[in-house]
Amino acid sequence: MTGVREFDDIVGEGSSTLFYGVAGVGKTTMLMTIAGNICRKLYPCIYVSTEDTLHYDRVARYPERYENVFFTEIRDFDELLKYVVEVLEFIPYRVLFVDSINALFRIVAYREDSIARYGLMLGLLWKKTWDSKGYFFASAQVRAGFEEDEEEIVASGTNILEYWFDNVFYMGFEDNKRFIEVVKPVEMKGFRRYYLIGDTGIEWVVE
């Protein structure tokens, strides 16, 4: 899946996996790398993009890696919830990607019923994935207003995300190097690997 045995063991033990981090760290690239790997054998796969970062150029360069992936773009939270309730509930997919899971929620977070509707959406996605014995991968943006020197950077809506996602990984920078670190499960918390972003996706640094 990811190309790192320890990470793959973690992902294989749960249905839902979240990657969060600052802009430009490679969250979309991580999801695209996993899609290119896992969807060759486990499909159909659905990739939902809620941002303007979907790498169609990579899909065009390596179409054989993504021939079992169906891409769609949604730019409105209400439309995303409608898509989950009225479309995904009736599609027999095996792997789902949502990039990112909280981008549209942040826009409507002020609404009185936003948390309830967000929780409903996450719960439906988790149950659908569990029932189909598949996988659900998502990226998440960090909360607004964080400072670069903060000791801890958290995803927007982190409490509800950590409730519904079995596995959580943080992607960040250290001395101009990119790394990914386990946040959940707690028994693996702190385990990290460094990586580069190459032409085909994530490239792991040999340590």
Provide the pLDDT confidence category of residue 57 given band limits of 50, 70 and 90.
Answer: confident
Tell me whether strands 177-184 and 167-174 are parallel, antiparallel or unpaired.
antiparallel
Check whether 148 has a pLDDT greater than 60.
Answer: no
- Supply φ then ψ for residue 107, to 5 degrees: -75, -30
Please check whether residue 206 lies inside any domain of the structure: no
Q: State the average pLDDT over residues 49-71.
A: 86
Number of domains in the chain: 1
Q: Is 80 exposed, middle or buried (0-12, 13-18, 19+ CB in 10 A)?
A: buried
Q: State the average pLDDT over residues 2-8.
A: 95
**For all residues of the chain together, what is the average pLDDT?**
89
Higher-pLDDT residue of 145 and 45 is 45
Please check whether residue 47 lies inside any domain of the structure: yes
Check whether 53 has a pLDDT greater than 80.
Answer: no
Check whether 147 has a pLDDT greater than 70.
Answer: no
pLDDT at 146: 47
Please check whether residue 207 lies inside any domain of the structure: no
Please check whether residue 85 lies inside any domain of the structure: yes
Please check whether residue 18 lies inside any domain of the structure: yes
Please check whether residue 205 lies inside any domain of the structure: no
pLDDT at 114: 86
Check whether 145 has a pLDDT greater than 70.
Answer: no
Cβ contact 179:194 at 8 Å: yes
Q: State the average pLDDT over residues 99-120.
A: 85
Please check whether residue 25 lies inside any domain of the structure: yes
How many other CB atoms are found less than 10 A from the CB of residue 91? 12
Provide the pLDDT confidence category of residue 90 given band limits of 50, 70 and 90.
Answer: very high
Please check whether residue 142 lies inside any domain of the structure: yes
Q: State the average pLDDT over residues 160-182.
A: 95
CATH code (residue 79): 3.40.50.300
**Whole-prediction pTM value?**
0.91
Q: State the average pLDDT over residues 163-180.
A: 95
Q: What residues make up the domain containing 190?
A: 5-200
Q: State the average pLDDT over residues 72-80.
A: 93
Length of the chain: 207
